[in-house]
Amino acid sequence: MWNYIVRRLLYNIPVYLGIILILMALLRFGAADPAYTFLGKNADPGDLEKIRHQLGLDKPFFVQYVQFLWEVLTLNFEQESWGRPGRTVGEMLSTAYIPTLLITVPGLMITATISICVGLISAFNRGRLADRTLMVLAVVGMSVSFLVYIIVGQYYGAFQLKEWVGTEIFAIEGFDLEENGFIAGWLTYCALPVIISVIVAMGYDTRFYRAVMVEESSKDYMVTAKAKGAGRRKVMFVHMLKNAMIPIITRVMTTLPFLIVGSVLLEYYFNIPGMGNRLLGAIFDKDFPVIQAFTAIFAVVFILSNILTDVLYALVDPRVRLQ
Amino acid sequence: MWKPQRSIVVRALALSTALSLAPALTAAPTTDPGPGGKDLKVIQLPLRSDAPKTIDPGRGSTTYDNRACSMVYDTLLQYSYLQRDPFVLEPALLTKMPICAEDGVTWTFQLKKGIVFQDNDCFPGGKGRELVAEDVFYSWKRQADDATKAKSWWLYKDTIVGFDAYRDAQNAAAKAGGKFDYDVPVEGMKVIDDHNFQIVLTEPVYRFIWVLAMFQTSVVPREAVEHYGNRFSRNPVGTGPYMLDEWTDLGMSFVRNPTYREEFFPTNLQEGDDAIVAESSKGQRLPIIDRVEYTFYKKDQPMWLRFEEGTLGYTQVPAENYETAFNRRTKKLNSAYKRRGIVAADVPLLDFIFRQFNMQDELVGGYTPEKVALRRAIILATDFDEFNSSFYNDKVIVYDGMIPPGLDGHPNNEEHRAGPEYRGKNIALAKEYLAKAGYPNGEGLPKIDYYVANSANSPEQADLTARQLGEIGIELNVRMMDFSSLIEACDNKKAQFFSFAWSSDYPDAENNLALFYGPNQSPGSNHANYENEEFDRLYEQTRSMEPSAKRTEIYIRMRDMVLDHAAFAGSMARTRSYLIQPWLRNFKPTEQFYNWVKYLDVEESLRE
Amino acid sequence: MTPKFLRSRGAKKFFKSRLATFSLFVIGIYTAIGIAVLFFDAITVDDTLQRVGPDSTPMIGEQKIEKRLRDADFHLARLESALNKKEEDVENAIANLALAERGISDKPREELKSEVARGWELYDELATQKDDAEFDAFDGKKKELKEQGIDDNEQVQKLAGNAADEAVEALVTSEDFVGSLEELEGIVAALYRPLTGWDATMYNLRRSIGTDRQGRSISIRALFSIKIALQIGVVSALISVIFGSLLGAAAAFYGGLIDHLVVWLYSTFSSIPSLIFLIVISYRFTGTQWESSLLPVYVAFCLTFWIGPCRIVRGEVLKIKELEYVQAATAVGFGKFYILLKHVVPNTMHLMFINFSLLFIGAIKSEVILSFLGLGVKNQPSWGIMIRDSGPEVVNGFFPQLGAATVFMFILVISFNVLSDALQDAFDPKHVS
């Protein structure tokens, strides 16, 4: 088993190097000179060369590449952000990851819980009205753009709700966990984005889990259980769920990266200072150190989740280990 | 053994408990009981479009940096808050306005006594010390240091005797392995004693007085820079009315500086100020508000909603909401807002929005009658009034020339005209000129490259331009790019015809006329690459003149020279609309300077 | 190959499902519209930019008094500014005022001027009446409350507000006011040439869903966006599927170095968050000559979407490789490439179709996000741009643009969802329905 894990890790090293290479190349070649963005309107032409030198842009690409790799390897996050002088990349990372986690993790947990339950109910009532209705709802939910949910959600869920009820339940935007305490703060600022992300993801996940459950329900052990006289609920929860856990966990693992991506939009729209929002801002500012560092972190998360998925598969299917 | 039932139930219980805690969550409190139980005055204000990147005046450059720095730092001079049209400077850190000697280049300054930097760990014992003359020079010298990565050297370039030489010498020394020595004196910066100093200019340049009010020249203490190093960008130590409390990705908050010098609410109320200024504020010591919380709004809609719900003290009116707030015909505030007692204020900006020709371009540049005719045709086919109604709700002032409304040299008639043929729309005349240029109805004229920087509705605006010029047969090749690419193209003299905007750095037409001064050619700010010896001579002459009728006359001559050469198609100056809550008092909006937060007051009884 | 495919068992099963056939039909309609716009210029870009009425007008329903006055103001102001231009420009200016088919009346210049003047008279009168009624009541009530000693600001505002509302309501329902308003609207209508027949139908079609903030027809823009959506969806999905599938099949089939390379490639690409990748690629194109075309969108999507089909086809081919008939073919001596083409690929066709429809949906939905951030489609309307533009409108309570874009997109996407479900049902033996 360990052998397999090590092989997977080693295998992903060239992948990681490739990601960094592509990213840095994309940022540097051909696009407008970031030195201009840095200096702005009253730039003195003599200063341009100076700034380029100070930002390290005049070194050959290969040198810049190796230098960055070394920084990643030594976990050096001391580069100063170009867009926010005085703040290092590491500092920005350390403050940004918490809000992102506060949206993605609850979103993941709630989506998984609800989708699994709905998927179970659907699978169990396969073909009947409950199932058909739920599946129609799922497809309908899947066919509307994420953005529409955000726009409508923000307007009705935050602004209008406040008008109707009188006090603010969900904030239109913003993020402050200290004012009223952690839980109250979370509910005010994070609950609405989480609700939206749950609604968006539920369509896809419910259908998947339903498919998994249905497949499980046709297996032999289920017939045996029913033949033995086990009650419906027991059959559903104890037998079916337990055996479906592996594909469920695998699915949850694979959707984790997408949740991070989805949180970018939520953070941008709801002004939550998470990693996605910061990265988006950096791209618009052409803040290379931040873009590179954040993407390097994202890539690590992706790769680790990929490896984890592979390992889980290997646990299930020993044939995979031998490849 | 894993029991799914229980786990699901537990999760559900936890969630429902959490949800039941939801009710009665109020927004941030608007008053804080301070020490001794007295209610503190707190306000929330917006920072629209972007956030400050640094609160170090030596590294700042944008208006956002300006807003942050102006809270914490002082400059030698400040704008007299209530005076507009014209703007007037008054002493801030000085006892009186600086005195200029007969030679026109020697200025003597006297600092107020007893001004102290805020208490901070960088000082021994944590107590701030008194501000002295050396501090002023130190603050400017560090902008000469390459290590500071200042963007504001252009303010001091060729201005003070010996400063440029000092910069080159020290930077060379630092590069060679030594260090940039701040103790080496500069010839034109003379310390007389702790509170008196002299500055000698290279020539009698009048704009110097405005520079002394710009935030980049604020005074910073050496101890703080050395103590914090790079982190000084986030840890300000100033003499200003407020101190930085918190700075997150979402906003910044400032609290009153207890050791701020004695300054009182201005007494020179202008016409109409009685409605704005609260009785209780007259004669009050500044700052009046105890705590200011800024939120950064990259997008307009959340800012608008926050104002609507009563949280923000004021807001700029985004174009999308203009018709919600104002009646298009009467330009008056709509009834819903009037009922709430909200006040509208219009702030004319010192804008020069125009389309520039590259005078060195083969096709559109040049000073021969044919080339002038070609450009004049384009100018006469451009209809800025249509832009005004389509994109700016008719709130923009369309004028001739490069000098914005409110400044000496601006055509002061109702139509803001300097002459009958300086702007469109006159299709018949445009066609005439086009024929004179040798391209009757546009025949034989190749496509003109029109460079435009990406912004909110720039594609639509570019489309309109193309359509307007299409009417006389001119074809445009619209090239959209981001702002830095546009600057790059201009610096390389590649941009043939481009859309540009210039906001005056200080309220003097010299700032705009500099855009046509020969020596400022690309890669300088004269992106037009305009070369006119007589213009240059007049420019150099007026640089040292104080505002006067004579100077204004010369400004007008210079303006008309450029207009006669049809060097650009212009111009527009925007008017920004502000909406102010009834409870925010003493607010007279302006975008020329940003240290006015200290004058604001809150009338709690009017706040919901 | 194709007719044989259509006669296969899977295809028969597919067509048996009425829902699937219906979704195919809907997709067909969309495609027809898309082709009409793309190749026959049924709707041009100019059509989508043309103003057809006042800003933000919904399609139906009683409009509020303020909106009706504003609309009257809109028409009067335009005509006035055109009539006030210099003599030689008036003709042109008036022609430019036409709202699509609805042109300005042929009445002589002088008559139009006097009509406009009369219109303004009525407008100003009505506006002043309303203002006066409102604020007389408001201020009056406030004074009354102050005299009564009621101090609480919130309460005062509420009561005074109610008084004002009542006064306004009384005014706008009064006969005189209604009469004058209708007279005003009559004058405005008379400023335009009456519409008949085909023109009338077309114009009503344009106004059917309402206008956006620049007075452009929402229905026309939504219809035009079909073309954009189809273009983006088809090109991106097609290229991604073909390229990805071939690569995946080749990788699985030939194995060895090619396989390692391909797997390395897609692992790398898939480890960059797709949204970030899309944004960075689109951003790279800003400033280049292709910026205003759809090329950046195509490139961004193809580079991100090829991974899915590649992975799936590779997995499938790995299994097919082991099947007996393939091994038999190899044993007999057929060339590898021949086997790939003749035996392997046809058996993955169903996967390619399924992936195509899934990627099509993905492309459309991603375009919305890209356009929202300003990086997607430029210079042409698309559903993403409409949704983005509707953001501020929604805040002002105006939903037609958001609704139109969402519904048009929704129908297409759900049809593709149903289609891909049916395809999977029909062709994938392991699929669970």
Asked whether B57 and B73 are in contact (CB, 8 A), the reply is yes
Decide if pLDDT at B25 tops 70: no
Closest CA to B379 of B571, B184, B163: B571
Question: What confidence tens digit (pLDDT) does each residue in C183-213 have?
Answer: 888 888 888 888 888 888 888 888 888 888 7
Task: Compute CA distances B253 → A117, A313, B34, B245, whole Å.
Answer: 45, 51, 16, 5
Question: What confidence tens digit (pLDDT) does each residue in C360-398 have?
Answer: 998 998 888 888 877 778 778 899 889 888 887 887 778
**For residue C395, which residues of chain B lie inside 8 Å, CB to CB?**
301, 304-305, 321
Decide if pLDDT at B471 tops 60: yes
- How close, in Å, is residue C338 to chain A by CA atoms? 27
pLDDT of residue A41: 60
- How close, in Å, is residue A311 to chain B by CA atoms? 22
Q: Do B463 and C131 touch (CB under 8 A)?
A: no
Give the model's confidence band at C88: pLDDT under 50 very low, under 70 low, under 90 confident, else very high.
low
Decide if pLDDT at B123 tops 50: yes
Q: Do B320 and C213 touch (CB under 8 A)?
A: yes
- Alpha carbons B40 and B38: distance in angstroms, whole number: 6
Asked whether B568 and B357 are in contact (CB, 8 A), the reply is yes
Angle at A85 between CA A84 and CA A87, to 5 degrees: 75
Decide if pLDDT at C86 tops 80: no
- What is the percentage of chain B residues whose pLDDT exceeds 70? 93
- How close, in Å, is residue C59 to chain A by CA atoms? 20
pLDDT of residue A39: 64
- Alpha carbons C408 and B371: distance in angstroms, whole number: 51
Looking up tokens 């690569």, which residue turns up?
Answer: C247
Decide if pLDDT at A322 tops 80: no
Arithmetic mean of pLDDT over chain C: 83
Closest CA to C262 of C242, C246, C273: C246
Q: What is the mean pLDDT of residues A186-214?
A: 86
**For residue C135, which residues of chain B lie inside 8 Å, CB to CB?**
335, 338
Q: Which residues between 388 and 417 in chain C have a beta carbon less than 8 angstroms from any beta carbon of chain A?
A: 388, 390-391, 394-395, 402, 406, 409-410, 413-414, 417
- Alpha carbons B563 and B528: distance in angstroms, whole number: 13
Residues 6 or more apart in contact with residue A155 via CB below 8 angstroms: C394, C395
**For residue B52, which residues of chain A lie inside 8 Å, CB to CB?**
none
pLDDT of residue B238: 94
By C-alpha distance, the chain B residue nearest C141 is: B339
pLDDT of residue B7: 40
Q: Do B304 and C395 touch (CB under 8 A)?
A: yes
Closest CA to B466 of B477, B452, B482, B451: B477
**For residue C387, which residues of chain A lie inside 8 Å, CB to CB?**
145, 147-148, 151
Q: Do C135 and B463 touch (CB under 8 A)?
A: no
Q: What is the pTM of this model?
A: 0.81
Closest CA to B499 of B473, B479, B521, B520: B479
Decide if pLDDT at B1 tops 70: no
Question: What confidence tens digit (pLDDT) does each residue in B411-440 have?
Answer: 988 889 988 888 878 888 899 999 999 988
Question: What confidence tens digit (pLDDT) does each residue in C42-75 have?
Answer: 888 877 877 787 878 887 667 778 888 888 888 8
- How close, in Å, is residue B409 to chain C by CA atoms? 28
Q: Is A258 on the interface with B (CB under 8 A)?
A: no
Q: Is C46 on the interface with B (CB under 8 A)?
A: no
Q: Is A178 on the interface with B (CB under 8 A)?
A: no
**For residue C146, which residues of chain B lie inside 8 Å, CB to CB?**
none
- Alpha carbons B494 and B486: distance in angstroms, whole number: 9
Q: Is A320 on the interface with C (CB under 8 A)?
A: no
Q: Which residues between 171 and 230 in chain C have a beta carbon less than 8 angstroms from any beta carbon of chain B?
A: 213-214
- How close, in Å, is residue B235 to chain A by CA atoms? 9
- How close, in Å, is residue C275 to chain A by CA atoms? 6
pLDDT of residue B530: 92
Q: Is B300 on the interface with C (CB under 8 A)?
A: yes
- How close, in Å, is residue C180 to chain B by CA atoms? 19
**For residue B8, which residues of chain A lie inside 8 Å, CB to CB?**
113, 117
* Position with higher pLDDT, B21 vs B522: B522
Q: Do A261 and C276 touch (CB under 8 A)?
A: yes
Question: What confidence tens digit (pLDDT) does each residue in B575-608 have?
Answer: 999 999 999 999 999 999 999 999 999 988 877 6
Rg, Å, chain A Cα set: 24
Give the model's confidence band at A317: pLDDT under 50 very low, under 70 low, under 90 confident, else very high.
low
pLDDT of residue A235: 66
The residues pairing with B352 across neighbouring beta strands, listed in sequence order, are: B502
Decide if pLDDT at B556 tops 80: yes
Give the model's confidence band at B402: pLDDT under 50 very low, under 70 low, under 90 confident, else very high.
very high
**For residue B18, which residues of chain A lie inside 8 Å, CB to CB?**
183, 187
* Position with higher pLDDT, B1 vs B245: B245
- Alpha carbons C206 and B120: distance in angstroms, whole number: 66
**For residue B426, which residues of chain C lie inside 8 Å, CB to CB?**
86, 89
pLDDT of residue B114: 92
Token code pair at residue C207: 């106004």
Question: What confidence tens digit (pLDDT) does each residue in B65-75 have?
Answer: 999 999 999 99
CB pairs under 8 A between A and C: 117
Neighbours of chain B (3+ CB pairs under 8 A): A, C
Interface test with C, best of A126, A145, A317 (most C CBs within 10 A): A145
pLDDT of residue C433: 60
Task: Compute CA distances C165 → B14, B113, B596, C172, whole Å.
Answer: 46, 59, 38, 11
DSSP state at residue C347: G
Q: Which of B26, B28, B485 sits opposite A32 (nearest CB)?
A: B485
Angle between helices B458-470 and B384-391 (to 10 degrees): 150
How far is C-alpha B287 from the geometric centre of its chain's CA atoms?
23
Amino acid identity of C92?
A: N
Q: Is A151 on the interface with C (CB under 8 A)?
A: yes
**For residue C413, which residues of chain A lie inside 8 Å, CB to CB?**
142-144
Give the model's confidence band at B93: pLDDT under 50 very low, under 70 low, under 90 confident, else very high.
very high
Q: Do A32 and C287 touch (CB under 8 A)?
A: yes
Task: Compute CA distances B194 → B99, B122, B186, whole Å.
Answer: 17, 21, 17
Token code pair at residue B480: 């959209």
**For residue A30, which residues of chain C lie inside 8 Å, CB to CB?**
284, 288
Q: What sign does the dihedral B144-B149-B152-B158 (CA atoms) show? A: positive
User: Among B520-524, C240-244, C416-420, which range has the highest average pLDDT?
Assistant: C240-244
Looking up tokens 């998470």, which residue turns up?
Answer: A274
Q: Do C286 and B482 touch (CB under 8 A)?
A: yes
Q: Is C324 on the interface with B (CB under 8 A)?
A: no
* CA neighbours closer than 13 Å in the CB half-sphere of residue B348: 17
Token code pair at residue C155: 């309460």
Token code pair at residue B165: 């030489």
Element holding B579 (H helix, E strand):
strand B575-580
DSSP state at residue A263: H
